[in-house]
Amino acid sequence: MTLMDAQPVDQVRLRRRRLLLISALVIAILAISLYLYWPYYRARQTVNQFMSALIRHNYQEAYYLWQADPKLYPMNTFMRDWGPQSEWGYIRSYKIEAVTVPPGGHASGLVVLVKINGIPHEEKIWVENHSEAMSYYEF
């Protein structure tokens, strides 16, 4: 077979191959983006559910969402921290300012900064990535 005997280029097949390659690349980029964004989305949703329960004065649900160990953080302590006698009083509004990785990175969770009742002080809530358990972020 010589160069003059070569098969002609199949343009349809080349177009299909390019389309498949571009589609695979777009799907891979979307999958990686979703994989990286998903923990931030879940942390935000968890805190939204928690704060909504507090606004509705459903403290049992909020305590359940907090996933606290009753021996280490009993309900009466939770009520002192989040109930009507807390530093915020009755929680009427909140705004999630940011969802961030703690300094140093490589952590098992995320820090959610929440502004409550318009008070300038932001509460830092730690949300575990896998269990979605919440606690105070101390650092």
- Rg of the chain over Cα atoms, rounded to whole angstroms, equals 25
d(CA 98, CA 135): 16
Q: For residues 8-24, give the mean pLDDT.
A: 90
Q: 82 vs 6, which has greater pLDDT?
A: 82
Condensed to tens digits (0 to 9), the pLDDT of residues 96-125 reads 999 998 887 768 899 999 999 988 888 999
**DSSP one-letter string for 102-130:** PTT---SEEEEEEEETT-SSEEEEEEETT
Condensed to tens digits (0 to 9), the pLDDT of residues 36-95 reads 899 999 999 999 999 999 999 999 999 999 988 889 999 999 999 999 998 888 999 999
